Amino acid sequence: MAKVSKRVLITGIEGFTGKHLQKYLSDRGFVVYGTSVFDIEDSNIYQVDITNSSKFAQVISEVNPDYIIHLAAISSPAHKDISAIYKINTIATIDMLDIVAKTLPNIKKVIIASSAAVYGNLGVEVLHEDLCPKPANHYGASKYSSETLSYRFDSNFPLIRVRPFNYTGVGQSNNFVIPKIVNHFKEHKESIELGNIDVIREFNDVEYACEVYYRLLSNDIASTTLNLCSGRGIKLVDVLKMMESIAGYKIKVVQNPDFMRRDEIPKLIGSTKKLFATIKEVKQVPFKETLTKMYEAK
């Protein structure tokens, strides 16, 4: 029996999600390739700027992947260079899809990572894919524009647009709130500056996200748009309480007005109805286990 080809190319593989996904898929029989803006000592990872379409086309031709997971992006709403946000998150994404359509007629599936930020503040507690997005910042708008422009490729190959809600784990940058909190406790700091600690977010485990990506690759589904969520909402103040229990001391929270966003979204919880109907229910560990693993990591 011929061996089924399972070559997957992950753009932005050097990032937090990419590193975890590389191992997760490799452990499950995929041959993983990647692109990175950095020079990484791995023969399966190509140094290429995603905005350099001609060089990216060369990588596509050489790897000839069966699947692509497009993670490369500017992922911070606070990024100062607005033009770069659209150049990378929107234009480079559509250029990439155009290259794939022209050069990989037999590609099995492409997954592009959008964001739950596309929804903005719609005034509803549970966000589902049938809602009309209303991005509240340039990051969300750049992701939504890439989604909108990507629809013309649906007839070329199965194209899955995923809207990830917050997830975290070992190795995530301290620029994100959960690693920042964990790091403050690891360093036994007396206080921490935060914004609104009453916001409710989906703080999921990165392994949960990896399992969702894995099932989407393994599933015979047509082009669609899906939340990458769990429906599990956690208040930031409760995260602090969990960490106080793990670390054994109470930290002083200083609310910094500079961290209060004018367009802050009070609650951001996703509906899993469409996702689980597609790939079946995905379980994950309790969030305190995620925090403990991060706290104990070297």
* Residue 2 clears pLDDT 70, i.e. is over it: no
What is the average per-residue pLDDT within 52-61?
Answer: 96
The CA-atom distances, in angstroms, between 139 and each of 154, 186, 227, 241, 295 are: 23, 31, 17, 30, 29
Q: Which helix (H) or strand (E) is 100 found in, with range? A: helix 92-103
Catalogue the E-assigned strands of 165-202: 167-168, 191-194, 200-201
Looking at residue 90, what DSSP letter applies? I
* Residue 1 clears pLDDT 50, i.e. is over it: no
* Residue 172 clears pLDDT 80, i.e. is over it: yes
- What tokens appear for 149 in the block? 């422009």
CA angle at 227 for the pair 222 and 230, rounded to the nearest 5°:
125
Dist. CA 179–CA 200, nearest whole Å: 17
Q: Say which amino acid occupies 19.
A: K
Neighbours of 164 (CB within 10 A): 24
Dist. CA 213–CA 191, nearest whole Å: 37
Q: Say which amino acid occupies 285.
A: V
Q: Which numeric CATH code is attached to 7-169+204-230+268-284?
A: 3.40.50.720
What pLDDT digit, counting tens, does each position of 193-252 carry? Answer: 999 999 899 999 999 999 999 999 999 999 999 999 999 999 999 999 999 999 999 999
- What is the pLDDT, as a whole number, of residue 263? 64
* Residue 278 clears pLDDT 50, i.e. is over it: yes
Compute the residue count for the chain: 298
- What is the pLDDT, as a whole number, of residue 247? 98
Q: Which helix (H) or strand (E) is 113 found in, with range? A: strand 109-113
Dist. CA 39–CA 55, nearest whole Å: 15
Q: Which helix (H) or strand (E) is 26 found in, with range? A: helix 16-26
Bridge partner residues of 45 (DSSP):
34
Q: What is the residue extent of each domain of the chain?
A: 7-169+204-230+268-284
- What is the pLDDT, as a whole number, of residue 193? 96
pTM, two decimals, is 0.95
Q: Say which amino acid occupies 295.
A: Y
- What tokens appear for 98 in the block? 């155009």
| Helices 16-26 and 206-218, packing angle to 10 deg | 50
Percent of the chain with pLDDT over 90: 87
Where residue 3 falls among pLDDT bands split at 50, 70, 90? Answer: low
164 phi, psi to nearest 5 deg:
-70, 135
What pLDDT digit, counting tens, does each position of 11-55 carry? Answer: 999 999 999 999 999 999 999 999 999 999 999 999 999 999 999
In 3D space, the residue among 192, 169, 166 whose CA is nearest the CA of residue 179 turns out to be 169
CB 36 within 8 A of CB 47: yes
What is the average per-residue pLDDT within 160-170?
Answer: 97
